[in-house]
Amino acid sequence: MGGILLLEDGRSFVGDAFGASTTRVGEAVFNTAMSGYQEVLTDPSYAEQVVTMTAPHVGNTGVNPEDPESERVWAAGFVVRRLTRGPSSWRSTGGLHQYLVQHGVPGIQGVDTRALVRHLRDRGAMRCVVSTDGTPTEELQRRLETWPGMVGRALAAEVTCEAPYVFADPPQPVARFAVLDGGTKRNILRLLAEAGCYVRVHPLTDPPEALAKDVDAVLVTNGPGDPAALPGAVTTLQALVGKLPLVGICLGCQLLALTIGAKTYKLKFGHRGANQPVRDERTGRVEITSQNHGFAVDRD
């Protein structure tokens, strides 16, 4: 069966459907990583986003239970040039097609992803609808027009954990962290635990007193949506300034910037991929980093 990706500016891309037979709306974005598609799909930062991979072959290594960054697929849809239906990896326990079926997420393959990515690069990330169930074009257009977009959306409040929990509790921790969960990836928690840290995770709604209890520092995690739409989290962090070290990753960095009076804005098409170069202004060295964000801190 065929599938279609319809963009808000009227451009459309067609291909062959895979994954779930359904229709979803979201923001059309692209990721330039050559691997790690399962981590991308399960990263809460991709909530309500339709992700296009620039790598030409996707699904080569299948899926497995160790690599997901959360319990579910958060991406609204998945667009690839070519889906590999016969994965080859000693770690694989299944294929990408069935994985998306299980999680109710539509995918399209056979799309000219180079043309699509160039379009998004030139025009910017935009609203879109992806359909693999034959929904009429008029209905797709209606759904696209009624989707609110990303600006002003407090999506992190929708993906945060429901209650505090302890992720790691070593007998002699090298440091004790409270983690404010805006949509954290498992790997962040895993790395802290492997470093010998005590790790306690809190919902975005927890008060500053709960975060500060018996810890050495607070880490604010990655997450989806607009940081400026989370005034409650900013107020919580303001109450902790000067009392504990505060560290932020992605959305967390943006929330810390808002905490001290800076402003954030939406990037044209964002930075998403495992090959983003960053120059250290102190040393002049360039490092290749993994990034996934659609908002940034205003340097002014």
Residues 140 and 191 in one domain: no
Amino acid at 227: P
Return per-residue pLDDT of the chain as tens, 300 residues. Answer: 799 999 999 999 999 999 999 999 999 999 999 999 999 999 999 999 999 999 999 999 999 999 999 999 999 999 999 999 999 999 999 999 999 999 999 999 999 999 999 999 999 999 999 999 999 999 999 999 999 999 999 999 999 999 999 999 999 999 999 999 999 999 999 999 999 999 999 999 999 999 999 999 999 999 999 999 999 999 999 999 999 999 999 999 999 999 999 999 999 999 999 999 999 999 999 999 999 999 999 998
> Which residue, among 4, 78, 5, has the nearest Cα to 38 in the 3D structure?
78
Q: Are 248 and 220 in contact (CB under 8 A)?
A: yes
**Rounded CA separation 12/182 (Å):** 33
Q: What is the pTM of this model?
A: 0.94
Residues 74 and 113 in one domain: yes
Q: Are 25 and 267 in contact (CB under 8 A)?
A: no
CATH of the domain at 160: 3.40.50.880
Q: Is there a domain that residue 267 lies in? A: yes
Residues 23 and 71 in one domain: yes
Residues 32 and 134 in one domain: yes
Q: What is the 3-state secondary structure (H, E, C) of 59-72?
A: CCCCECCCCCCCCC
Cα within 13 Å of Cα(252), Cβ side:
19
Q: Is there a domain that residue 151 lies in? A: no
> Which residue, among 102, 89, 27, 26, has the nearest Cα to 59 in the 3D structure?
89
Residues 82 and 216 in one domain: no
Residues 8 and 40 in one domain: yes
pLDDT at 300: 84
Domains held by the chain: number: 2
Q: In Å, how far from its chain's centre is CA 117?
A: 18
Which of 114, 146, 178 marks a domain boundary? 146
Which of 117, 146, 175 marks a domain boundary? 146
Instruction: Provide the domain limits for residue 115.
Output: 2-146
Which of 96, 113, 146 marks a domain boundary? 146
Q: What pLDDT digit, counting tens, does each position of 168-202 carry?
A: 999 999 999 999 999 999 999 999 999 999 999 99
CATH of the domain at 42: 3.50.30.20
